Amino acid sequence: MKKDIPIPKVEDVGIAIIPEEDNSWYVYLINLKDTALDTVLVVSKGYGKVDDKEVKTSILRHLFEKVGSREFVKIELLEKQLHVLSNEFWVSFWHKGTMYDKKYVFVTDSLSKEHFTNIPLLNKMGVLIK
């Protein structure tokens, strides 16, 4: 039964969106664990309303064979016009023989300076979901 399947909680893994000096915004996966993540799959998409019309972006998939202990990887560029949408990142990975997955959603208009925090390992300001 579904209730008998253990669903492990994802801890110490986050997604950050950070503005760069050239005014572009990038999405990063951050591994704050003391051990590596294996076979990391990130699926991203955007959705929402623009001018009262439903809008969906293409679905992008990224695979990283390994993300080392206390390391980060740049996932993708997030175009400025996509900030008005909700941006979803579904992350799946193997850690110590167990598969984990978690959905990270940056809701509409969450990418503003009022939500900025210092991003660990990168030492830059941006928006982080752990």
pLDDT digits (tens, 9 = 90+) for 74-112: 999 998 888 899 999 999 999 999 999 999 999 998 998
Domain segments of the chain as ranges: 2-129
**C-beta separation of 25 from 77 below 8 A:** yes
Q: pLDDT digits over 27-79, tens only?
A: 999 999 999 999 999 999 999 999 999 999 999 999 999 999 999 999 999 98
> pTM for this one?
0.93
**3-state helix/strand/coil string of the chain:** CHHHCCCCCCCCEEEEEEECCCCCEEEEEEECCCCCEEEEEEEEEEEEEECCEEEECCCEEEEEEEECCCEEEEEEEECHHHHHCEEEEEEEEEECCEEEEEEEEECCCCCCHHHCEEECCCCEEEEEEC
Report the pLDDT value the prediction gives residue 4, as an integer from 0 to 100. Answer: 72
Superfamily name and number for 2-129: Immunoglobulins (2.60.40.10)
Q: Which residues contact 21 (CB under 8 A, 6 or more apart)?
A: none
Report the pLDDT value the prediction gives residue 69, as an integer from 0 to 100. Answer: 97
